[in-house]
Chain A
Amino acid sequence: MTLSTIRNKPKKKWIAPILTLGAVLFWIGIWWLAAEQIDKAWVLPTPAQVFKALFSTITVKKALPILLSSLWGIFKGYLWGGGLGLLLAALTARIYPLHLLFSPLLTVVKATPIASFILILWVFFTNSAVPAYAVMLIVLPIIWANTEAGFGNTDEKLSEMARAYDLSLIKRIWYLYIPSAYPFFKSAAVTALGMAWKAGIAAEVFCTPDGTVGKMIAHAKRDIETAELFAWTILVVAVCFLFEKLLAALLSLPERKGRVKK
């Protein structure tokens, strides 16, 4: 059972969405007031100006193919980073010298600012390839560290039982290691997705590869089209939120079937 530490949390479930909507409207109101006060659209546009720009971005500027192009680059990097992170976690959890070998490298990768990454990668790769590599380097250590911790969380008693029954490595992976690592992998995968979006779009803003959201954001900033800048940002946040929810729901499927720990 999880106990909430938040006071005055509503007991009726239907109240929560209404309160959330109220909170969103409150902050939009604050934004509106601030924009009216400043009265300079190039500094802070009003919500109405931003939503108008958002509509025009979607309809006139054909946001969908641009979003898909960015999504593809981020997706490639995410898959490579996730895959390599999983593989490394499986190896380093089992072979301690490998853990010792990779730990410093991944600690450095984790601590390096994303901007430095992007600029270093840009030395070696073309501007269209940098976002995917940047995403990969952001995702890899998150997946690696968490999944390795999950493998390390394997129940000793079950592990001993598996030994007593001479279970093969494949069976041990299926019955023992995957279920114990899965909750760690799941939370890491969702966290890494948010980070992947941030890193991917940041890399696009730096490198401005053609037909990407990052390039549109960079150009909106260059042309002092602040409303458009906000519109693209809202689109990115919305897509990121949608994909995070989608991934979380997808990764929760095995839990609902009881296959892995909740």
Chain B
Amino acid sequence: MIEIKDLKKSYGERTVIDGLSLRIEKGEKVALMAPSGCGKTTLLRLISGLERAEGGQIDSEASVCFLFQEPRLFPQFTVLQNVKAVLTGKDKQKKALAALKEVGLEGEEGKYPHELSGGMAQRAVLARALVTGRQIFLLDEPFKGLDEQAKRELFALCRKALAQKTVLLVTHDEEEARAVCQRLLRFGKGMTLEEDLAL
């Protein structure tokens, strides 16, 4: 569960989030849609702790995992090494290989990020996120720039792999929202909630 109360964030004079309150239930998959520059990504960054809010409160019951727009894999390390990088403790190799198998990257472990297609890179990123065991997934337009085929495969994968997770998906595309989420929140300027739809 994520509970946001009266959240405020501005960059200099520009107010990006002006008193947002929101509640996301455990296991819920919510799409966030808003015009560009309204603060969707900022909201995810605040929830993940990458940025600090000026006011308000964010409570989450579990630790969060951020999937950025770009894959952000370490370019000098293999897919397997990238997944292992976020692991601690024993059986790192085993856990990483299992996660890569889960996302359909079995046999691609030894490849470097530049050898992967956009869809494969996002799968690797998903494997890296899944292996952490975190329960809340913040997805910042992860399907952007992918071709239709790769998108559809990733939709299916997200539905399966994130079935038990709480998901917040930032998107501009309603089709993406429908493919992954059960709830759609539309925001206007200052991240004021305009529409709360069940999908």
Q: Which of A149-171 contact B (CB under 8 A)?
A: 157-158, 160-161, 163-165, 167-168, 171
Q: Give complex CA distance A199, B77 in Å.
A: 38
Q: A175 at interface (Cβ–Cβ under 8 A)?
A: yes
In the bound complex, residues from chain B placing their C-beta under 8 Å from that of A258 are: 76-78, 112
Q: A260 at interface (Cβ–Cβ under 8 A)?
A: yes
Asked whether A157 and B76 contact (CB < 8 A) given A163-B50, A167-B85, A167-B86, the answer is: no
Q: Give complex CA distance A167, B85 in Å.
A: 8
**Beta-carbon nearest neighbor of A259 in chain B:** B76
Interface centre among A164, A258, A259, by most chain B C-beta atoms within 10 angstroms, is A164
**Beta-carbon nearest neighbor of A157 in chain B:** B72
| B128 vs chain A, min Cβ distance (A) | 8
The total number of A-B Cβ pairs within 8 Å is: 42
Asked whether A175 and B74 contact (CB < 8 A) given A161-B68, A167-B86, A258-B112, the answer is: yes
Query: SS class of chain A's interface: helix, strand, loop or mixed?
Result: helix
| A158 vs chain B, min Cβ distance (A) | 6
Contact B76 A260 (CB under 8 A): yes
Q: Give complex CA distance A175, B81 in Å.
A: 9
In the bound complex, residues from chain B placing their C-beta under 8 Å from that of A158 are: 72, 74
**Beta-carbon nearest neighbor of A160 in chain B:** B50
In the bound complex, residues from chain A placing their C-beta under 8 Å from that of B60 are: none
Asked whether A164 and B66 contact (CB < 8 A) given A157-B72, A259-B76, the answer is: yes
In the bound complex, residues from chain B placing their C-beta under 8 Å from that of A168 are: 88
Q: A141 at interface (Cβ–Cβ under 8 A)?
A: no
Q: A81 at interface (Cβ–Cβ under 8 A)?
A: no
Q: Which of B70-106 contact A (CB under 8 A)?
A: 70, 72, 74-78, 85-86, 88
Number of interface residues of A (CB under 8 A): 17
In the bound complex, residues from chain B placing their C-beta under 8 Å from that of A188 are: none
Q: B48 at interface (Cβ–Cβ under 8 A)?
A: yes
In the bound complex, residues from chain B placing their C-beta under 8 Å from that of A157 are: 68, 70, 72
In the bound complex, residues from chain A placing their C-beta under 8 Å from that of B77 are: 175, 258-259
Contact A176 B74 (CB under 8 A): yes
B86 in complex: contacting residue of A160, A165, A176, A260, CB < 8 Å: A165
Q: A179 at interface (Cβ–Cβ under 8 A)?
A: yes
Q: A261 at interface (Cβ–Cβ under 8 A)?
A: yes
Q: Give complex CA distance A235, B66 in Å.
A: 59
Asked whether A171 and B85 contact (CB < 8 A) given A160-B50, A164-B66, A258-B112, the answer is: yes
Contact B112 A165 (CB under 8 A): no
Q: B10 at interface (Cβ–Cβ under 8 A)?
A: no
**Beta-carbon nearest neighbor of A254 in chain B:** B76
**Beta-carbon nearest neighbor of A159 in chain B:** B72
Contact B76 A164 (CB under 8 A): no
Interface centre among A157, A161, A171, by most chain B C-beta atoms within 10 angstroms, is A161
Q: List 6 A-B contacts (CB under 8 A).
A: A164-B48, A165-B86, A165-B132, A175-B85, A258-B76, A258-B112
- Please report A residues at the B interface, Cβ cutoff 8 Å: 157-158, 160-161, 163-165, 167-168, 171, 175-176, 179, 258-261
Known: A157-B70, A161-B72, A164-B65. 5 other contacts (CB 8 A): A167-B85, A167-B86, A168-B88, A259-B76, A259-B77
- Please report B residues at the A interface, Cβ cutoff 8 Å: 48, 50, 65-66, 68, 70, 72, 74-78, 85-86, 88, 112, 128, 132
